[in-house]
Amino acid sequence: MIKILKYGEVPNSEIFARTEPTVNVEATVSEIIANVRAKGDAALYEYCEKFDRAKLDSLAVTPEEIDEAVAAVEPRFLEVLEKAAKNIRAFHEKQVRNSFIINNESGIVIGQKVIPVDRAGLYVPGGTAAYPSTVLMDAIPAKIAGCREVVMVSPPNKEGKINPVILAAAKIAGIDRIFKVGGAQAVAALAFGTESIPKVDKIVGPGNAFVAEAKKQVYGVVSIDMIAGPSEILIVADGLSNPRHVAADLLSQAEHDKMASAVLVTDSASLAEKVSAELERQIPLLERAEIARVSIDNNGKIIVSPTLSVAIDIANELAPEHLELCVDNPFDYLDAIRHAGSIFMGRNCPEALGDYFAGPNHTLPTSGTAKFSSPLSVDDFVKKTQYTYYTKEALERVAHDVEFFATKEGLTAHAKSAVVRLEEEQ
């Protein structure tokens, strides 16, 4: 049963506690990465046979396999994928940044260029957890950014096939190349390249502890989106909220995995009790009841706050991945929310809208990292470079200022380079 905590009557350490993963896979992942770097495709085939029980003839997915997969997907689902993709494109197109140029002073031009990374790599989980939504959320911003090539990796099943819905989403999103490989070995292949899989500049996408650790270890060789922790939802709800709806929304995250965190913060003790009862009623009805049960019992909590204002303060401190504002006038509170991955406004906006359909990205900062990081966006697939141009006359106006500044830092060669051209003229 979920814990009910009264804010101010229990230690803050209990209010703000997070369950930390205890599994340590650092050494195993390090060995896998080293093996892939040394043996390339051969290592990938070995790991595919070992972990996925699949003996492959080729790592690459052919156009014929993609067409076969699309044909196998229910037409209604293809239609929904297209609608979701349209919404995701419309939202992320607004994120495109422009280069700029400043030429306000005679003889001086400065500016910034916004340049897409050449090649983006997308990791998409497979097996029992097939998430075509992740394909759309990760690939569409990369394509909008203008990446020259978007490469996807996903583990195959025992027959050597990637889930058809994953391939259908990949086609809708416009992914350029797809490979049948998963786990830490897939991340290593994207980071360093093999005979079949090209080296990428950025790796994005969720995965298990091995994938997360691999992304952590290859960071610096390539860029990554984030190190994702367990799924989280925090709901701020007042006493007028429907407990059935609130419980359902909490369980939408609790069913992800046993480490997921579902938290309700409310100013109503009555709602707290009703939501607790609703959770007990709804959990046995879920297909993933066992997972949700462990998540709610171990990581779930209901915090009873004296006011909604304090509830917002608690939410900001926890900085959740998903934040629902279940109140009548959610825009009254929007400015007060400073730390959250994605905010769902009002009583008719379940977090599932964001997972699949609304348009904002569902790849979000977890574990409190929303205090300093952002959802996946077009910005993740671009980099910026800057340029400076001075005429001879413009340099003459500032050269001695630069010389003076450099000398104060003890860098006399810097200072000399600023004035040497003036000396030549003399």
Say if residues 34 and 217 touch (Cβ distance below 8 Å).
Answer: no
- Pairing verdict, β 119-123 and 149-154: parallel
Q: Which of 321, 324, 351, 403 is catalytic?
A: 321
Tell me the β-bridge partners of 143: none
CA–CA separation, 225 vs 206, rounded Å? 9
Say if residues 324 and 351 touch (Cβ distance below 8 Å).
Answer: yes
Give residues with Cβ within 8 angstroms of 143, minimum separation 6: 150, 173, 174
Say if residues 248 and 282 touch (Cβ distance below 8 Å).
Answer: yes
Tell me the β-bridge partners of 115: 383
Of the candidates 340, 310, 351, 308, the residue with the CA atom closest to the CA atom of residue 327 = 308
CA–CA separation, 340 vs 337, rounded Å? 7
Task: For 25, list phi and psi in degrees, rounded to 5.
Answer: -115, 15
Q: What SS3 state is found at 43? A: helix
Say if residues 265 and 228 touch (Cβ distance below 8 Å).
Answer: no
Q: Say whether 321 is catalytic.
A: yes
Q: Which of 92, 256, 322, 362 is catalytic?
A: 322
Q: Say whether 322 is catalytic.
A: yes
How far out from the chain centre does Cα 398 lie? 45
Active site residues: 321-322
